Structure 1
Amino acid sequence: MGAQRIEIFLPENEFLRLEEIVALHCRRYWREDVPGENEKLTCLVQQRYTERLLDDIETAFGDYPSLAVIVSPIEASIPPIIEDETSELPGRHPARPRTALERWFTRDRLSTDELYSDIEESLRVRPSYVATVLLSSLIAGLGMRSGQVAVVIGAMVIAPLLGPTMGLAMAATVGDSKLARRALATLAIGTVLGVIAGALVGFAVDIDPTVSELRNRTFVQPADIALALACGAAGVLAFSRGTSLALVGVMIAVALVPPLAASGIFIAQGDSDLAVGAAYLFFTNLVCVNVAGIGTFLLQGLPPRSWRITGGILVVWLLLLALLATALFGTFRFGFLR
């Protein structure tokens, strides 16, 4: 994922200004005549410059009704588009050049527009979303009930909660309240459906609550917090680089779907203590995934609209995590003293 092909359509009288902007972000571009009032400029842009080019185009020409921009990945080019420090173009703020760490973290990230496009489709509550949440939770519940780890992992490939979870972390990072509301609504629906699916398993088959795959989802351990943080960071890294959604989905779903299904199973069995324990694990994992997700998005250079809003949201998540960790420590200490 070293480069992108960007096609820009604008009226001919704006092409001189457009070429000045494009020249700041790439070294290969050409102009084409197309039918209609617009002209077409095509450019090959290194991945790390896609975001800033799209931002500059929108700032300069966003009011033009006929503006159209199409971004597509490039599999190969001759000569190749080199991705290293020798090919770096001047920054928009020469007085404050990017550090080597910033360059390293942002070089492979999709642009913000591409991330929005990937998330947008997954936040729509359609019959397919309802079906995948129910099926994933049913499979996970049956796998835990029989102690089959491979079945539980297989259920995660369906990845039903990937979109709302990534959307929630991204909304917090950029400070987009509309995206946050949509992600929360979709995640809430998925959460309820996951518990219902687990309850169906609990009603339909005999359950042995001592099976390790089930029992391990009824309490939180320090390793669970570390796992959820790692899943959140790895999931965002994979998602923001355009990696296979199945891979990203397994990273996120392994921390969220099994506790939901377990909570539903124990509700159906009438064991409220174990059901609450599973729900507590789900909430803890959700907080960890969002903390790690926001931090990873920020490290990758995803630009917040307001650092004050983004920082405030991150502080809230961190406080929740601290409270959960404190409660966990108290539980372990109390159990030890007893």
Structure 2
Amino acid sequence: MRLVQLTIPTGQREAIFDVLDGREVDYVVTDETKSREYTAVVYFPLPDAAVEPVLDELQDAGIDDDAYTVVVDAETVVSRRFQALREEYEENDVGSDRISRQELQAEADDLTPTFPVYVVMTVISAIVATAGLLLDSPAVVVGSMVIAPLIGPALGASVGTVIDDEDLFVESVAYQIIGVIVAIAAAALFALLVRSLNIVPPDLVLSSVGEISERLAPDLLSLAIALGAGVAGVVSIATGTSVALVGVMIAAALIPPAGVAGIALAWGQPTSAIGATVLVLVNLLSVNLAGLLTLWYAGYRPENLFSLGETEQRLRQRIVGLVVIVLVFTVFLSGITYASYEAGNFEQDAREDVETVLSQDRYEDYQLLEFQLVMDDDYPFRNPERVVVTIGGPPGQSAPDLADILHDRINRHADGSVTVEVRYVEVVERDAG
């Protein structure tokens, strides 16, 4: 619920009272004696869903922005008329639980820090994320998300579009572009410094670090994370609930991939940075797309209804543009997902063939101890490069033709040539006692 404080301009007292009485809103008036421009201040409580229509009606009655309005949280209101007002406006859905358009705009402005603070915090979060990625520490990576100032610009562009605030839209888009560039550049410079000082091994294989490898070759699940973060972010800001945890979710979709892209560049592997960079871009666009759709569904419209048609047209254009770009990136992610699927099928088929060969009577003394598939480093579309088969057998014995047989059987499932390495381990069995 909200408590609204509205200054009453000279000559507008009756117009304001008529609106409030017509809505059956309780109010209190205090006279203003120090100003000739304003004659009084009126205080009245409103349910969240009633703030926007009441303020709009007051504006239609001639109360413009010169009569400043303050909307604050109210913990408790004890009033039968207020309870009736709440039942009239609240319908137990997102549209009725949302804050007013005026509050939404103020919230979006507040979530975006000043430009110097935004850049500094983005650099710090990127550096912390890079350190966590190189240490393969999920806890440190999560910490970098907490300090990332990305939720304001990520949601501000959507808010600016639906309420027809082009200044907010342009500023938010600029912040997002600059944020991505700054994050990747800061991560690359920090990773280059760490590598040159031998804080981490200069010959570190990026694919061997779990926190890094999973973002070098992202799949379609990453898109679901970004869309979910965008919807959750807009719902949290639109309903006036805490956005801190949702901000972490949005940062999770952007900061770690930006850190991985910077690390790949510092390691002199620009092709390896492609997957992470695409992940950053598709996540950023998906957050904006989800925000636009959710805000429009929640019922937000521009203040001036005469601009509604123009705003709807602009909204459709931006949604179509975002959908097209996201679909292009989705095709890219689908290719990575399909390559991973094919590698999984190859591994399963190859393992089954090895087990089938070893099940023959001539190899009854041998058993499969370990099957390992080694992928190449051609990110983001990785392919099987080598298969390592570890076989246990009697001491001093080996099956010379087994390696050739396994090579032929395994390569039947591969699109290209796959190296097959067979290792023999002596297995000695002793009876108990």
Shorter chain as normaliser: what TM range? Answer: 0.7 to 0.9
1 CA distance for matches of 2:145 and 2:160? 24
1 CA distance for matches of 2:65 and 2:149? 38
Matched, 1:61 2:59: no
Aligned residues of 1:29 and 1:42 also touching (Cα < 8 A): yes
What is the identity, as a one-letter code, of the residue corresponding to 1:147? D
Among residues 292, 295, 320, which one is paired with 1:315 in the alignment? 320
1 CA distance for matches of 2:134 and 2:11? 68
1 CA distance for matches of 2:43 and 2:52? 16
Among residues 210, 221, 229, which one is paired with 1:223 in the alignment? 221
The CA deviation at 1:145 is 1.3
CA shift digits 1:263-299 (9 cap, x unpaired): 1111111110111211100011112111211111122
CA shift digits 1:128-175 (9 cap, x unpaired): 222211111111111111111111111111131111111112223334
TM-score normalised by L of structure 1: 0.87
TM-score normalised by L of structure 2: 0.69
CA shift digits 1:202-249 (9 cap, x unpaired): 113235412111111123311111111111111111122233342121
Helix, strand or coil for the counterpart of 1:23?
helix
Which position in structure 1 is the counterpart of 2:159?
170
Tell which has more relative contact order, 1 or 2 (C-alpha 8 A, sep 6+).
1
Q: Please identify which structure carries the higher helix content.
A: 1
Helix, strand or coil for the counterpart of 2:300?
coil
CA shift digits 1:274-331 (9 cap, x unpaired): 1121110001111211121111112221115421211221111112222222233344
2 CA distance for matches of 1:208 and 1:286? 28
Helix, strand or coil for the counterpart of 1:5?
strand
What is the identity, as a one-letter code, of the residue corresponding to 2:32? V
2 CA distance for matches of 1:315 and 1:84? 42
Helix, strand or coil for the counterpart of 2:97?
coil
Which position in structure 2 is the counterpart of 1:300?
298
Which position in structure 1 is the counterpart of 2:76?
76
Matched, 1:185 2:186: no
Matched, 1:129 2:118: yes
2 CA distance for matches of 1:58 and 1:219? 53
1 CA distance for matches of 2:227 and 2:30? 48
Which position in structure 2 is the counterpart of 1:153?
142
Helix, strand or coil for the counterpart of 2:18?
helix
Which position in structure 2 is the counterpart of 1:251?
249
2 CA distance for matches of 1:44 and 1:23? 13
Which position in structure 1 is the counterpart of 2:29?
31
2 CA distance for matches of 1:161 and 1:215? 24
Which position in structure 1 is the counterpart of 2:87?
87
Of stretches 319-328 and 155-164 in structure 1, the one that deviates more from structure 2 is 319-328
1 CA distance for matches of 2:156 and 2:88? 31
Of stretches 191-200 and 300-309 in structure 1, the one that deviates more from structure 2 is 300-309
Aligned residues of 2:219 and 2:334 also touching (Cα < 8 A): no
Helix, strand or coil for the counterpart of 2:30?
strand
Q: Could you list the structure 1 runs, at least 4 aligned residues long, displaced by more than 6 angstroms after superposition.
A: 80-86
The CA deviation at 1:5 is 0.5
Structure 2 gaps, min length 5: 195-199, 303-307, 343-413, 416-433
Aligned residues of 1:32 and 1:41 also touching (Cα < 8 A): yes
Q: CA distance change for structure 1 residues 248 and 86 in 2, over 3 Å: closer, same or farther?
A: closer
| Matched positions, count | 324
Aligned ranges 1:95-114 → 2 under 5 Å: 104-114=93-103
Q: CA distance change for structure 1 residues 151 and 86 in 2, over 3 Å: closer, same or farther?
A: closer
Among residues 138, 142, 160, which one is paired with 2:131 in the alignment? 142
Which position in structure 1 is the counterpart of 2:231?
233
Largest Rg, 1 or 2: 2
Structure 1 gaps, min length 5: 90-97
Which position in structure 2 is the counterpart of 1:41?
42
Among residues 326, 330, 333, which one is paired with 1:328 in the alignment? 333
Provide the aligned C-alpha RMSD in A: 2.4
